Amino acid sequence: MKVETIRTYRIQSVRDLEVYRLAFNTAMEIFEITKEFPKEETYSLIDQIRRSSRSVCTNLSEGWRKRKYEAVFINKLRDAAQEAAETQTWLELALACEYITRNIFQGIDEKYEHIFAMLNTMEKKVGTFCK
């Protein structure tokens, strides 16, 4: 019988977190998609959706640096979730305006649902992340 060993991987930086990488890559996907939006949306929808999608990552980074304070870390996780929810609303507006297809909307929306699940798990297991 083969015995498998479980490797423990130590997270060295926020960039090692799967949720951070997914949020970052999704923000970059949104950046690319919004390049095709009409120019009249530059100072409204484009700016807002780019800002909120990037804020998911920045809140995770800020929380990671302050993780020795459990309450601050949890607050930043919640801020990241709020920004993800805002991004989903902007995506829905982009869909309603026909700037993106339903397939693009669903793909990105599913990524944000996955981000929510990971943030929720991190909050429930805060002790494994905080020093």
User: In 3D, which of 48, 124, 46 has the Cα closest to residue 83?
Assistant: 48
Q: pTM (2 decimals)?
A: 0.90
User: What is residue 4's predicted lDDT score, i.e. its pLDDT?
Assistant: 55
Return the exposure string of 19-29: e unless at least 16 CB atoms fall within 10 Å of the residue's CB, then b. Answer: bbebbbebbee
CATH number of 16-125: 1.20.1440.60
Structural tokens at position 129: 């992340």
User: What is residue 14's predicted lDDT score, i.e. its pLDDT?
Assistant: 94
User: What is residue 131's predicted lDDT score, i.e. its pLDDT?
Assistant: 72
Over its length of 131 residues, how does the chain's per-residue pLDDT go in tens digits? 555 555 556 778 999 999 999 999 999 999 999 999 999 999 999 999 999 999 999 999 999 999 999 999 999 999 999 999 999 999 999 999 999 999 999 999 999 999 999 999 999 999 999 87
What residue type is 65 in one-letter code? R
Exposed (0-12), middle (13-18) or buried (19+): which is 103, by Cβ within 10 Å?
A: exposed
